[in-house]
Amino acid sequence: MSGMQTAWPSGTECVAKYNFLGEAEQDLPFSKGDVLTIIEVTKDPNWYKAKNNGGREGIIPANYVQKREGVKSGSKLSLMPWFHGKITREQAERLLYPPETGLYLVRESTNYPGDYTLCVSCEGKVEHYRIIYHNGKLTIDEEEFFDNLMQLVEHYTKDADGLCTRLIKPKLMEGTVAAQDEFSRSGWALNLKELRFLQSIGKGEFGDVMLGDYRGNKVAVKCIKNDATAQAFLAEASVMTQLRHNNLVQLLGVIVEEKGGLFIVTEYMAKGSLVDYLRSRGRSVLTADCLLQFSLNVCEAMEYLEANNFVHRDLAARNVLVSDDNVAKVSDFGLTKEASSTQDTGKLPVKWTSPEALREKKFSTKSDVWSYGILLWEIYSFGRVPYPRIPLKDVVPRVEKGYKMDAPDGCPPAVYDVMKQCWTLDPVARPSFRILREKLQHIRAKELYR
């Protein structure tokens, strides 16, 4: 069987590369773009038994589908992998050697600070075109103007339009990969033509969230227009490709536009953010069991992240969403990092962040446990803002001295105990999410049989 790929284990997800009509009765027909899950390997390695999203099972041809993988976090995904920053003319010429007509890169101009230079290999020579930044627009010929470098590169990729050649092949900056290529390779790129935008359902800090329809399914689409922000969101999307749990908002795919836009498509959570849900329904509607169920949902997601060495860093009720059937799922993986990472994080939500994370940037699963305690308090107070009546500047000094919030009105003492354990000042002494999940399950069992 030389040249054969190793068999995919059951549970492997794949994406259809072509349409498959199916000939025999046991075949499972599918269309390009469908997601299928392998159930078992058949005797013939060219065929798998698989299941589609609707739960239908059947036989599929292995070479019609592509395995879906997590995007590796090692290499840096880039929307502009051909951008090399501040390098000299000579360095650019070395990078474009050996000559290959249409090979190009963009660098910052050394002679004209603030401008850029497009360097293109053309019939054995390298041409350097100055890109002028003028009144917020970029131009080479003062005839065509662009909002950003991606739009400019896209334009000259289609047509030479006065340059010595059209842009054919990007010279990639070392250590970067083109985001679009990586999402396609790993099976996460979606087709913009199949996405219909229906209505706006939320405003994030960095762009609109839209309700959409993708191949007949309701989806949520985070639309990131600004190119610098889009670059930051690539990290969030690539983290999401590595995670799968019923209590994490599921990524469905990503669309990277050539001109720099980014769409992150996730499952649609019809009941919106948990904090709004708690505030709008309140005490009269939400039962004790419902609150405990939300607490358990989030805890199970966090137990999964804990087991896989991911640290969320921004756990709060505003970042939990509620599905149509009342399941709470953790979202907003913008700050999520593999546990080994030591990167800086910028602005932190003070009331949710553990003392050691605020003080020494020590983020760990145990700092997520602290935030989880605050989230429990939010749930049992029906969406109140934590530390009521304490001025923000006084929160940290008081917490450092051992101050803990009181139990919310009507909160069962056993649940308040769990909160207080999450707020143990020494991170090592805080319980793990596995232990927390066991405690909450225990509380739930006792309540149900009371």
At residue 73, φ and ψ (nearest 5 deg) are: -90, -5
User: Closest distance between ligand AMP and the C-beta of residue 254, in Å?
Assistant: 14
Closest approach, Cβ 207 to ligand AMP, in A, equals 8
The residues that touch ligand AMP, with contacts defined as CB under 6 A, are 201-202, 204, 209, 220, 249, 266, 268-269, 272-273, 321, 331-332
Taking the least distance from each CB to ligand AMP, the nearer of 220 and 443 is 220
Task: Work out how close the CB of 224 gets to ligand AMP at its nearest, in angstroms, rounded to a whole number.
Answer: 10
Q: Is 220 or 278 the residue whose CB approaches ligand AMP more closely?
A: 220
Closer to ligand AMP by CB, 22 or 204: give it: 204
Residue 3 CB, nearest approach to ligand AMP (Å): 42
Dist CA 199 CA 192 (whole Å): 16
Please work out, in degrees rounded to the nearest 5, the angle formed at the alpha carbon of residue 251 by the alpha carbons of 248 and 252: 140
- Which one from 227, 314, 332, 368 is the annotated catalytic residue? 314
Q: Is 141 among the residues known to form the active site? A: no
Task: Supply the minimum distance, in Å, between the C-beta of residue 21 and ligand AMP.
Answer: 33
Give the nearer residue to ligand AMP in terms of CB position, either 33 or 204: 204
Tell the residue number behind the tokens 């190793």, with chain if given. 6
Please give the Cα distance from 278 to 378 (Å, whole number): 9
SS3 307: helix
222 a known binding residue? Answer: yes
What is the spatial distance between Cα 18 and Cα 31, in angstroms, rounded to a whole number? 6
Strand partners, 118: 106, 129
Q: Long-range contacts for 15-22 (Cβ within 8 Å, ≥24 apart)?
A: 15/65, 15/66, 15/68, 15/187, 16/64, 16/65, 16/66, 17/64, 17/65, 17/66, 18/64, 20/60, 20/61, 20/64, 22/58
- Strands 262-267 and 176-178: what pairing? unpaired
**Is the CB of 84 or the CB of 329 nearer to ligand AMP?**
329
- Longest CA–CA separation in the chain, Å: 83
Active site members:
314
Annotated binding site for ATP: 222
